[in-house]
């Protein structure tokens, strides 16, 4: 009776210690494209070891997803810069066209008496320099907006894939039979 009680206490102590260590090991979260356990950033070797025991998740899949996430993030940043530069160029072109129009309007007022006396019509048309700047700004802004749309799609898709992988890393699993260190029951958190 004493032996059975001792074995029961010993077995429950071992199981509770093992479960607590497992649960602590697999409390994985993601920040950006990196994985953390507690406050420690996991190295590539630790991530490889972690994912080797999870069905359907490989280290190669993680690296591909991580690369896609980073690509989406940099596509968003780069396209935002391009769209911003396009908006500045468009603004300069539009302001120049407006000032040119005002100057033509004022100039035609001053040349009205000359036109009335001589009959000659002065050439007071727009030069087209600001029109080209506004058109270029519009094209650059359009390219930036298309890049932002593509970057948003890539970023969101790969962020969701990374979150799915992290949730699979934190999922508990129970297996019976031959384990890594012998035969028996394995409960992995």
Q: Which domain holds residue 118?
A: 62-189
Give the tens place of pLDDT for each residue, 99-123: 888 887 787 777 777 777 777 776 6
Q: Label residue 161 exposed, middle or buried (CB < 10 Å: 0-12, 13-18, 19+).
A: middle
Angstrom CA distances, 124 to 98, 106, 132, 133, 135, stand at 14, 10, 18, 20, 22
**Looking at the domain assignment, is residue 85 inside a domain?**
yes
pTM of the model: 0.64
Number of domains into which the chain is organized: 1
Residue 188 phi/psi, 5-degree rounding, is: -115, 130
**Looking at the domain assignment, is residue 11 inside a domain?**
no
Nearest to 167 by CA among 5, 7, 61, 28: 28
**Looking at the domain assignment, is residue 48 inside a domain?**
no
Please report the pLDDT score of residue 16 as a whole number: 46
**Looking at the domain assignment, is residue 12 inside a domain?**
no
Give the tens place of pLDDT for each residue, 32-86: 888 888 888 888 888 888 888 777 788 889 999 999 999 999 999 999 999 999 9
Mean pLDDT for the chain overall: 80
Q: Are 47 and 62 in contact (CB under 8 A)?
A: yes
**Looking at the domain assignment, is residue 54 inside a domain?**
no
**Looking at the domain assignment, is residue 84 inside a domain?**
yes
Could you tell me which residues come within 8 angstroms of residue 54 by beta carbon, excluding any fewer than 6 positions away?
168, 169
Nearest to 66 by CA among 150, 157, 153: 157
Could you tell me which residues come within 8 angstroms of residue 82 by beta carbon, excluding any fewer than 6 positions away?
140, 143, 144, 147
**Looking at the domain assignment, is residue 16 inside a domain?**
no
**Looking at the domain assignment, is residue 33 inside a domain?**
no
């Amino acid at each position: 009776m004493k032996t059975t009680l001792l074995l029961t206490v010993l077995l429950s102590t071992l199981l509770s210690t093992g479960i607590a260590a497992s649960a602590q090991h697999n409390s994985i979260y993601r920040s950006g494209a990196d994985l953390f356990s507690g406050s420690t950033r996991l190295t590539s070797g630790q991530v490889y070891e972690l994912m080797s025991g999870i069905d359907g998740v490989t280290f190669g899949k993680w690296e591909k997803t991580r690369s896609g996430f980073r690509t989406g993030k940099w596509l968003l940043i780069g396209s935002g810069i391009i769209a911003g530069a396009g908006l500045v160029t468009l603004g300069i072109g539009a302001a120049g066209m407006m000032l040119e129009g005002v100057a033509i309007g004022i100039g035609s007022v001053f040349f009205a008496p000359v036109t009335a006396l001589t009959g000659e019509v002065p050439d007071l048309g727009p030069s087209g320099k600001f029109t080209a700047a506004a058109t270029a700004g519009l094209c650059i802004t359009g390219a930036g907006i298309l890049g932002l749309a593509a970057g948003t799609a890539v970023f969101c898709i790969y962020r969701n894939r990374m979150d799915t992988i992290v949730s699979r890393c934190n999922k508990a699993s129970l297996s019976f039979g031959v384990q890594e260190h012998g035969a028996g029951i394995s409960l992995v958190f």
